[in-house]
Amino acid sequence: MRKVGLHLRIEQDLTELIQKAVRLDIPCFQFFITDRKSGCVRQLIREDLQRFLTFKCQYFDNLYLHSSYLINLADASRKHHPLLMWEIRVAIMLGCKYLVFHPGYVNSLEEKRGGIDSIARSLNYILRRERNINFLLENTGHGQLSIGSNIEDFKSILEKIDYVDRVGFCLDTVHAHVSGYDIVSATGYTNFINLIEENIGLEKVKLIHLNDTKQSCSSQADIHCCISEKDSKLGKEVLKRFIHDERLKDVDYLIEMPKVSEEKELQILDRVSGWWSM
């Protein structure tokens, strides 16, 4: 089995999705259940769900559902709660270990403290009601109005969480890079990992999105490319640091990349899986 998983897109139905994951021979995968842009929910068919669960039980321990980008828990109106609650129910139904989501955003820096309070209140409310799902907060790359672009935001959130054992962290390498953290130099990488340890705790990191980009540090442009593509800014030597870091040895790794052929996906998975022995 390959060492790294993949973010997969639902092209037809859930059966097709998980059958592809089996063909790719990956240890885990992540997917959206709602349209990432429109937020439209997917029609679920009982027979499709049953086939998905049959494959899941046979081949996969860890599945990750990524929540819709439209959900903003920093919004005190809670207008996106119905969509989030639906996604949670689906995640539980599909046997997903975690729901991964971006915490949210505010319209001005003056609103940021209130936005963090709103995120914590929403999580506490949901965690009281739904005891069969855990959350992974993902760092973001869209600037200071996007909560989670600053790693210290997560410390502020965790300090307000009542069920902190059910809230973990998903680290995205591209988001870290484009939000302004130096993970390219060896010293910068060490400083970044130390920052996570100080503010979150490395034991809270459950998933790493091992991604690459052609965008510059601090660009705030969340655009991924295939790993080690020409002109990519991270590439093999940078991303290998995460894989070979003993403090992150029990973390799941997933690649999120532009839509390419399955043949190309296999080539990249094989290449990156080989890094574990290098």
Domain boundaries, the chain: 5-277
Cβ atoms within 10 Å of 227's Cβ, excluding its own: 23
| CB distance 115 to 105 below 8 Å | yes
In the prediction, which pLDDT does 110 show?
A: 87
Q: What single string gives the DSSP state of each residue in 160-171? A: T-S-GGGEEEEE
Q: Which fold has domain 5-277?
A: TIM Barrel (3.20.20)
Q: 160 vs 70, which has greater pLDDT? A: 160
The size of the chain, in residues, is: 278
- What is the pTM for the complete model shown? 0.95
Calculate mean pLDDT across residues 261-272: 96
- Averaged pLDDT of the chain: 94
Calculate mean pLDDT across residues 163-181: 97
Q: What is the percent of the chain where pLDDT is above 70?
A: 99
- Looking at the chain, which runs of residues are DSSP E strands? 5-7, 28-32, 62-66, 98-101, 104-105, 134-138, 146-147, 167-172, 205-209, 252-255
Which amino acid belongs to residue 21? A
Contacts of 177 (CB under 8 A, 6+ apart): 141, 183, 184, 213, 215, 217, 233, 234
Q: For 85, phi and psi rounded to 5 degrees?
A: -65, -35
Calculate mean pLDDT across residues 81-106: 93
- 3-state SS, residue 43: coil
Calculate mean pLDDT across residues 134-151: 93
| CB distance 1 to 28 below 8 Å | no
For residues 1 and 267, what is the distance between their CA atoms, to the nearest angstrom?
Answer: 14
Could you tell me the pLDDT band of residue 143, with boundaries at 50, 70 and 90? confident
- Model confidence over 251-264: pLDDT tens digits? 999 999 999 999 99
Could you tell me the pLDDT band of residue 37, with boundaries at 50, 70 and 90? low
In the prediction, which pLDDT does 78 show?
A: 83
- Strand pairing report for 5-7 and 252-255: parallel
For residues 92 and 172, what is the distance between their CA atoms, to the nearest angstrom?
Answer: 24
For helices 14-24 and 262-273, the axis angle rounded to 10 degrees is: 40
- Model confidence over 175-199: pLDDT tens digits? 999 999 999 999 999 999 999 999 9
| CB distance 178 to 220 below 8 Å | yes
For the chain, state the CA radius of gyration.
18
Calculate mean pLDDT across residues 161-165: 95
